[in-house]
Amino acid sequence: MKTTTITDAKNGLSALIDRVKSGESVLILDRGTPVARLEPVSATSDPSGRIKRLERAGLIGPAGAAPPLDLIRSAAPQLAHGASAVQAVLDERLAGR
């Protein structure tokens, strides 16, 4: 993501708009503090555009392999009688997993 100051954004708005049209986001800073972000309209309303933007930023990557279908198709484990799924999740969080 490109960053720019308010002064530079004001003086070069046309160039920034061209970058945004090509799919890039621009963060505008005021004395080093982020105050605004210019993003393509399609990136906020189109999930696939958001994914492409995250890939360009290096935050996510394409899947390396097909999902394990046998794991997906197998039955989920059953809770013991009287056990709480919520409590199990909270216990895992406390354990750092």
Whether the predicted model's global pTM rises above the 0.85 cut? no
Q: What is the pLDDT of residues 86-96, one digit of tens each?
A: 998 898 899 88
- Average model confidence (pLDDT) across the chain: 85
For the chain, list the domains and their CATH numbers. Answer: 1-62 (3.40.1620.10)
Within the chain, how many helices (H) and strands (E) appear? 6, 3
Q: What is the pLDDT of residues 54-74, one digit of tens each?
A: 888 888 888 788 888 888 899
Q: 2-5 and 33-38: which strand pairing? A: unpaired
Nearest to 2 by CA among 59, 60, 57, 51: 57
For residue 43, what pLDDT is reported? 44
